[in-house]
């Protein structure tokens, strides 16, 4: 191979690699009805080891990622990213997930919900960290580590943003090739708490999710299972402090109310996780496969 051909092939390989590592781009960005009239919001995007985090007073909005029309199966997942209600882990919880979902014919809707910019009042302290055996520490599966009025108000605002998002998706269902009976939430960490709160607060039929998945995200308020509760999928690591006990309590509350619920507590690590390659060295790496199988088993991918 002569040097000129080699250099051309090398340049082509660099271009291909660059394209493959570029984040998925949303087709639409829409401000939600819960947004205030203030337009000059202070939304900050920061880089965390190559991953995008969003902080600041986010004007509630969604970013829409649609699959190719010939792949679309009518299912839509509203992605509620984690970040402790003080940030949004956008790369891992939205962009990477949207690419995975689109490849399976599923529409992905990234939710930018309102965040907490307040500090707890003096004297208010976080509760102790407990392991998975201490579910009695969280009555009604409320695993919020720090209740105070302003913080609880932010959770309610974020839940209202999620409700506005699910209504928006259904309003645009025909244009986006979505079945209104196949629209649900997937929440990560605190985003799981937002999705759960939105599900419990929903009153109108068009605000109720068809399904609900929370990934290492316990409820951040007392659980009151709604009538005709959507099927619930819960995933977490068994060694995740507070979270494991919180999601186990959530599972029991759903079942006591007669709801359809499934839980996977992976025993191979602590703390949160993102999409990971299939290595066969952990069970947690199968979480996204389990999610797809669950959606299929429940009839949302047909």
Q: Which domain holds residue 111?
A: 26-117+128-297
Percent of the chain past pLDDT 70, that is, above it, reads: 90
Are 189 and 216 within 8 A, CB to CB? yes
Alpha-carbon distances of 277 from 94, 216, 223, rounded to whole Å? 17, 19, 34
The DSSP string of 30-97 is EE-TT--S-----EEEEEETTEEEEEESPPPEEEEE---TTT--S-EEEEE--STTT-EEHIIIIIHH
pLDDT of residue 40: 54
pLDDT of residue 63: 97
Query: Which tokens in the block code for residue 126?
Result: 């976080």
Minimum mean pLDDT among 120-134, 188-202, 236-250: which range?
A: 120-134
Sign of CA dihedral 152, 29, 88, 163: positive
Mean of per-residue pLDDT scores for the chain: 90
Whether the predicted pLDDT of 128 surpasses 60: yes
* Residue 223 in domain: yes
Whether the predicted pLDDT of 139 surpasses 50: yes
Reduced to 3 states (helix: H, G, I; strand: E, B; else coil), residue 262 is strand
Whether the predicted pLDDT of 10 surpasses 70: no
Q: Can you give the three-state secondary structure of 135-180, one letter per residue? A: HHHCHHHCCCCCCCHHHHHHHHHHHHHHHHHHHHHHHCCCCCCCCC
Residue 38 confidence class, pLDDT cut points 50, 70, 90: low
Beta bridge partners of 215: 188, 235
* Residue 5 in domain: no
Domain tally, the chain:
1
- Backbone angles phi and psi of 248, in degrees to 5: -65, -40
Q: How many CB atoms lie within 10 A of CB 278?
A: 10
pLDDT of residue 122: 81
HSE-up (13 A, CA, CB side) for residue 117:
12
The CATH number of the domain where 143 resides is what? 3.40.50.1820
Q: Where is 208: in which H helix or E strand?
A: none
Alpha-carbon dihedral 237, 243, 245, 246, rounded to 10 degrees: -130
pLDDT of residue 42: 66
HSE-up (13 A, CA, CB side) for residue 260:
11
Whether the predicted pLDDT of 18 surpasses 80: no
* Residue 6 in domain: no
* Residue 273 in domain: yes
Give the position of tokens 């002569």: 2
* Residue 7 in domain: no
* Residue 21 in domain: no
pLDDT of residue 9: 36
Whether the predicted pLDDT of 99 surpasses 70: yes
pLDDT digits (tens, 9 = 90+) for 52-91: 999 987 899 999 999 999 999 999 999 999 999 999 999 9
Query: Which tokens in the block code for residue 107?
Result: 């529409």
* Residue 12 in domain: no
pLDDT digits (tens, 9 = 90+) for 253-276: 999 999 999 999 999 999 999 999
Report the pLDDT averaged over residues 96-114. 97
pLDDT digits (tens, 9 = 90+) for 212-258: 999 999 999 999 999 999 999 999 999 999 999 999 999 999 999 99
Query: Which tokens in the block code for residue 295?
Result: 């959606």
Residue 119 confidence class, pLDDT cut points 50, 70, 90: confident
* Residue 290 in domain: yes
Minimum mean pLDDT among 19-23, 177-181, 210-214, 228-232: which range?
A: 19-23
């Amino acid at each position: 191979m002569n040097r000129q051909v080699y250099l051309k092939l090398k340049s082509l390989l660099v271009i291909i690699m660059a394209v493959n590592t570029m984040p998925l781009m949303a087709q639409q960005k829409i401000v939600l009805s819960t947004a205030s009239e203030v337009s000059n919001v202070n939304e900050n995007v920061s880089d965390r080891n190559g991953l995008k985090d969003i902080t600041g007073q986010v004007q509630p909005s969604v970013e829409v990622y649609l699959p190719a029309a010939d792949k679309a199966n009518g299912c839509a997942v509203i992605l509620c990213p984690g970040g402790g209600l003080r940030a949004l882990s956008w790369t891992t919880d939205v962009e990477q997930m949207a690419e995975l979902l689109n490849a399976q014919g599923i529409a992905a809707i990234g939710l930018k919900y309102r965040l907490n910019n307040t500090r707890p009042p003096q004297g208010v302290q976080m509760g102790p960290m407990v392991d998975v055996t201490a579910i009695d520490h969280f009555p009604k599966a409320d695993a919020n580590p720090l209740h105070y009025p302003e913080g609880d108000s932010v959770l309610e605002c974020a839940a209202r943003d999620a409700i506005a998002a699910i209504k928006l998706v259904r309003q645009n269902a025909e244009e986006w090739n979505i079945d209104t009976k196949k629209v649900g939430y997937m929440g990560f960490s605190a985003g799981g708490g937002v999705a759960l709160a939105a599900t419990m607060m929903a009153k109108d039929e068009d605000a109720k999710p068809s399904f609900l998945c929370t990934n290492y995200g316990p409820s951040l308020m007392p659980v009151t299972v709604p009538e005709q509760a959507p099927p619930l999928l819960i995933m977490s690591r068994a060694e995740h402090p507070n979270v494991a006990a919180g999601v186990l309590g959530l599972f029991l509350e759903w079942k006591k109310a007669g709801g359809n619920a499934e839980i996977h507590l992976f025993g191979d690590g602590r703390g949160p996780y993102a999409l990971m390659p299939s290595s066969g060295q952990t069970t947690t790496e199968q979480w996204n496969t389990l999610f797809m199988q669950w959606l299929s088993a429940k009839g949302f991918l047909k």
